[in-house]
Structure 1
Amino acid sequence: MLSLWDNLEDLLDSDCPENQAGTVIHHGEFDPKQDAQTLKEAMDGIGTKEDILIDILTHRDNAERQLIRKAYQDATGNDLVDDLQSETRGDFEDLVVALVRTPAEFDCHEVMDAIKGAGTKDSVLIEIFASRTNQEIKALNDVHLKEKEYLLIRDLRDELNGDIRKAMLLLVEGERDESADVNEQEAVQDAEAMYQAGEDKWGTDESTFIEILCKKSFPQIRRTLVKYKNISEKSLQKSIESEMSGELEELMVAIVKCVKSRPAYFAERLHDSMEGSGTCEATVCRIMVSRSEIDLKNIKAEYKKLYKRSLLSDIEKDLSGHVGDCLKAICGPDDD
């Protein structure tokens, strides 16, 4: 993996937006009322027909699922989310509910679950806020305000502290520069500032890294990474890993990886979630659902490039039952 993240030769070619390449696409020819009725029948009576839930929910895009959800509400008076939570259990429940929620609802509930109860699941917050666009973050915030009647930033202030809180509070505002313009001189200045704040001094001025990595545009940071390597002869990621620790290090590295390649970042996250003893189903489900209509094909391609085997083959090996079947349907066939 280090060779991937240290290689900057092709980095500037990625200044253009990443291709939209989802595995779940618009179905087109479907009847939301009929789908709603079929889902209701699959959950009525003794036992739930999980294969029917999987077939419908993985073969409609999210906009179509929202039409089904409305038709279900109109026909039954119940929210489809509530009935799925009543009729399914465990990881499968989480997965089908994730498919029925809007992307903003799903992200918001993942964040709320991460800061609920004893201890905060910082890795979930880091993954979401390092990888989402301003529009996605603002939509997440809107859902939180609607459901909780106060701003998400209040909970983050209460749950986090120190430099990780400072960085997260910047990211949750959803005000990152998203222009495509790149300023060469600014890239040199930012690279020099981070070098002087880290490697070139005793102790590390984390605020300099936070200000640049949490506010500048991805194309601008890409150019800065190249300038940093020229100054330091070490990649910015390696400098961060040697100069920082804990959650702040994890967040700063996650941002740098997303700047270089969101698909490669998510491919690595999926691999690490299935590697070794035990699989983190929650992480696999979150990434597969959240990227299914954005760039999951690109993630699959990066996965095969990095690990010399397909994402589908690892899902088949590590996840079984209805959860495995649902994830395989979202993943789609191997692309040769």
Structure 2
Amino acid sequence: VFYFQDDLDLLLDSPSSLTVNSTVRGTIKEKPGFNPGEDAAALRKAIEGIGTTEKTLIDILTQRSNAQRQLVCKAYQDATGRTLCDDLEGDTRGDLEGILVALITPPAKFDCQEFIGAIKGAGTTESVLIELFASRSNHQIKAMCDAYLAETGRALIHDLKSEVSGDFEKTLLILAEGKRVESTNVDVAKAKEDAKILYEAGEKKWGTDESKFIDILCHRSVPQLRQTLVEYKSLSGKTLQESIEREMSGRLEDILVAIVKCVKSVPAYLAERLYKSMKGAGTTESTLTRIIVGRSEVDLQDIKAEYKKLFGTSLYSDIECEVGSNFGQCLIRIRR
């Protein structure tokens, strides 16, 4: 377990990526003196010459904000009559292609494409669905749903229903509605009551009443849930995460644990995902791309700090060790 179990009281005052919609903790900022026409011309030269100059593509696309990259895409299309996305797909390969295309995709559309990737093909990639819905704010989930409707003409919730089932489905669908309470007020009496409900629905009875866990963990605000985690520990002597791991199994356990981790700290949860994507058998490049690109203007600085705290090594040096080539260079440039 990567979490220090006695840090619950510190939680109550710390900010959360689920409630703060700000870009100050990102690693990528707007480039001053930005000129989209110049960038588009340089990209065009890098792509149209003999052999693609990957270094130019990486230099430009990792050092502009997403909003600036959208302007570069427009300037590129105006100048060439082709989309930058098509040209990158035609000229680069593999993981480098994946990350460069991710960089020029608007964030909500990128989340939407990751969602589509997770549900299409044989078998659904549940771990990606869990990450997307547990770590995103209401605002980000709504934007992803809007992008999905624009892209496919269907409601995301409708397509999600046909992919998952049981209590896991129930939990994902509530999260996908983006209905988590946003208030920053904390009702301590209510937190004590919720802690008692959770304790009686799990540890205290024979068999578990999963619906109580799903209802409380998916609907309460982050500050309220943090207070509930504190009350639960003082009531039961265990952390809620430990109880969920004891009482549940399978995908439902995975998603409820992910929610608890994200309530505590989205950056710590994502740092753990990054670590496992590099230290498991074979590197999961798609996870590296999704988190590092997806959080580059949200909280990547905090993810780097949590990574160091949890694993005693820097995210930078692990990427250098585990991921070679231009793809690794691209990741490193983003996290600077």
- TM bin (shorter chain): over 0.9
Aligned-residue Cα RMSD (Å) equals: 1.4
* CA-CA distance at 1:178 after TM superposition: 1.1
Offset, 1:136: 0.6
- The aligned amino acid for 1:136 is Q
Match of residue 217 from structure 1: 221
How far does residue 9 in structure 1 lie from its aligned partner after superposition? 3.1
Summarize deviations over 1:81-105 as a string: whole Å, max 9, x none: 2221121111111100110000001
SS of equivalent residue, structure 2 residue 51: coil
Match of 1:110 in 2: 114
Residue 161 of structure 2 contacts residue 173 of structure 2 at CA under 8 Å; is this kept in 1? yes
Counterpart position of 1:141: 145
Q: Give how far 1:183 is off.
A: 0.8
Superposition pairs of residues 119-268 of structure 1, within 5 angstroms? 119-268=123-272
Residue 13 of structure 1 is matched in structure 2 by 13
Report if the CA contact (8 A) 2:137-2:178 is conserved.
yes
- Out of 273, 289, 296, the residue aligned to residue 292 of structure 1 is 296
* CA drift at 1:272: 1.1
Superimposed CA distance per residue, residues 225-264 of structure 1 (whole angstroms, 9 cap, x where no aligned partner)? 0011111110000000111111111111111111111111
Supply the distance in 2 between the matched residues of 1:78 and 1:182 (Cα, whole angstroms).
Answer: 52
Q: What TM-score do the two structures reach when normalised by structure 2?
A: 0.95
Structure 1 residue 278: deviation in Å? 1.6
Match of 1:31 in 2: 35
For residues 226 and 118 of structure 1, what CA distance do their matches in structure 2 show?
41
**Aligned AA (1:157):** K
Q: Secondary structure at the match of 1:303?
A: helix
Structure 2 residue aligned with 1:301: 305
Q: How does 1:34-113 map to 2 (within 5 A)?
A: 34-113=38-117
- What's the CA shift for 1:4? 2.1
For 1:99-129, what per-residue CA distance to the aligned partner results, in whole angstroms no more than 9, with x for missing partners?
A: 0000001100000000001000010110110
Shift of 1:13: 2.1
5+ residue gaps in structure 1? none
Q: Give, as a single letter, the amino acid of the residue that structure 2 aligns with 1:10.
A: L
TM-superposition CA deviations, 1:170-197 (whole Å, max 9, x none): 1111121111111111111111111111
Report the Cα offset of residue 79 of structure 1: 2.2
Tell me which residue corresponds to 1:280.
284
Conserved? CA contact 2:111–2:132, under 8 Å: yes
Q: Distance in 1 between matches of 2:180 and 2:167?
A: 18
In the TM superposition, what whole-angstrom CA distance separates every residue of 1:122-158 from its partner, at most 9, and x where no partner exists?
1011011001011111111111101101111111100
Contact 1:14/1:260 (<8 A) preserved: no
Name the % identity.
Answer: 56
How many residues are paired up? 332
Instruction: Using the TM superposition, give the Cα deviation of residue 78 of structure 1 relative to its aligned residue in structure 2, in angstroms.
Output: 2.2
Question: Does 279-288 or 71-80 show the bigger shift?
Answer: 71-80
Deviation of residue 274 (structure 1)? 0.9
Task: State how far apart, in whole Å, the 2-side matches of 1:148 and 1:141 are.
Answer: 10
Q: Which runs of 4+ in 1 moved over 4 A?
A: 15-19
> Is residue 57–residue 96 contact of structure 1 (8 Å, CA) maintained in 2?
yes
Task: Give how far 1:15 is off.
Answer: 5.5
Rounded to whole Å, the distance in 1 between the matches of 2:212 and 2:281 is: 38
CA distance in 1, matches of 2:255, 2:6: 17
Distance 2:170 2:14 in 1: 29
Give the Cα–Cα distance (whole angstroms) in 1 for the partners of residues 298 and 95 of structure 2: 23
Confirm or deny: 8 A CA contact 1:6 1:235 kept in the other structure.
Answer: no
Contact between 2:25 and 2:298, CA under 8 Å: does it hold in 1? Answer: yes
Greater relative CO (CA pairs within 8 A, separation 6+): 2
CA contact 2:2–2:310 (8 Å) conserved in 1: no
TM-score by length of 1: 0.95
**Aligned residue type for 2:84:** L
